[in-house]
Chains A and B, each alone.
Chain A
């Protein structure tokens, strides 16, 4: 047993050394503004409680939204805004790039995530949506929605593509098509009907507008055709409003 002890100690020491080395190699930046302001929390509302002068260096610890926690040479920790951190230099003297939203991200973003709600042919709809922009004008989209109506509930899952006409405009129209599956569960208290699952396809149009460099508002109309196994196909209209975050 005692034979393993030195090995264990050595291994622990090696791990600790590795840890110290990792800690020592934390990102360090040199202040270029007259002062780097330390806020007590990650937000502009939190008071400035400490400043670090130009030429001194600080270590970057962690990030929350647009605020970065930094540690000064004398061990003080505070939160610094992304904008001010971008006016610092690395120890090699290069400008620090902190990724975040910029006007370019309106057309250069890759992903969109939305929360949507609205009306699905008389029923309420709650929807979670995702989109991937293949090009600034072409989106691949996927939605999962729950339908909550007076006579029936259900689920609808779709995938489709959308074309944005003017992605650089503040507000742009778009059109989309897609298909998926619609499940309808009639309320047992009202009618003795069976649950049914049918394929469906939609065509739609809408408007999307940039709220800021990270948010979009979208309003959309879709016309669904449900391929039922009865004689007639069903046609349903959907109106939704969505709040979208893009990154």
Chain B
């Protein structure tokens, strides 16, 4: 009994609402403006949007190669680099590398003398450098493939930890970057890490040359 009453009531409310809406629709239809606009503006104000393009100015990668540590022979070196390209010409680069030094000729000849402990033989360095794409161009591989490439120069400062000490290090280098595709690059680098060392008693400026092959990705 109750339920039927509710259904009736609801139907009544809905019908009343519908009729009301109908009436107001008719009202608004009759209340049209008497002077219609001759030209209706169709121009909307649009916000100018920047094109949404993927910007790839960062470059990160790893390298392996050989590092000649003055007086301590040549060793395998590996490391990572991170770069940000400001313009087509200039970039900033952070590099970190690590190598294990060999023995000096004095240690080899004397037989039992150890100048450094195993821990102290571990050389790690970092530097913050500025790079300049001095000679951009294209490299041709056979007759059909041309790859963008650049010869660049870097100069920076950092620190080298070696022989239980930290040394202020000036790093300068030259490298060749070959872009295999839009995001992958191959690097051939030659760098000189220069620091003043007093590990062998007398303080002297050491030149430590490094040659590496690396791969980086742009993102």
Contacts and interface: CB of A to CB of B under 8 A. Distances in A.
A230 interface: no
B122 to A, nearest CB: 17
A115 B53 contact: no
Nearest to B59: A64
B156 A115 contact: yes
B96 interface: no
A94 B85 CA distance: 30
Interface stretch (B9-17, B74-82, B163-171): B163-171
B216 interface: no
A65 B90 CA distance: 10
B88 A98 contact: no
A96 B133 CA distance: 29
Contact of A40 (B148, B159, B218): B148
Interface stretch (B24-32, B44-52, B106-114, B205-213): B44-52
Contacts of B89: 43
B38 to A, nearest CB: 25
Contacts of B118: none
Contacts of B48: 94-95, 97
Given A148-B166, A187-B165, A126 B51 contact: no
Contacts of B182: 62, 69
B89 to A, nearest CB: 8
B180 to A, nearest CB: 13
Nearest to A123: B168
Nearest to A81: B88
A174 B201 CA distance: 44
A215 interface: yes
A60 B136 contact: no
Q: Interface extent on B, as a size class?
A: 35 or more
Interface stretch (A4-12, A44-52, A156-164): A44-52
Interface residues of A, number: 44
Contacts of A153: 165-166
B53 A60 contact: yes
A117 interface: yes
Interface string B68-109: 000000000000000011111110100000000000000000
Interface string B129-142: 01001001110000
A187 B128 CA distance: 24
A11 B167 CA distance: 59
Contact of B138 (A41, A63, A128): A41
A45 B52 contact: no
A124 B195 CA distance: 11
Contacts of A97: 48-51
B158 interface: yes
A40 B156 CA distance: 31
Among B133, B165, B166, B167: residue with most chain A CB under 10 A: B166
B54 A63 contact: yes
A46 B53 contact: no
B128 A126 contact: yes
A13 interface: no
Contact of B157 (A43, A62, A99, A126): A126
B53 A128 contact: no
A92 B44 CA distance: 12
B153 to A, nearest CB: 15
B159 A146 contact: yes
Among A113, A128, A148, A243: residue with most chain B CB under 10 A: A148
5 contacts: A68-B53, A124-B157, A146-B159, A148-B167, A214-B86
Interface of A: 27, 29, 40-47, 60-69, 92, 94-99, 113, 115, 117, 123-124, 126, 128, 146, 148, 153, 187-189, 214-215, 243, 245
Interface pairs A-B: 9 shortest CB-CB: A41-B148, A124-B168, A148-B168, A45-B136, A43-B88, A27-B51, A63-B55, A117-B157, A62-B54
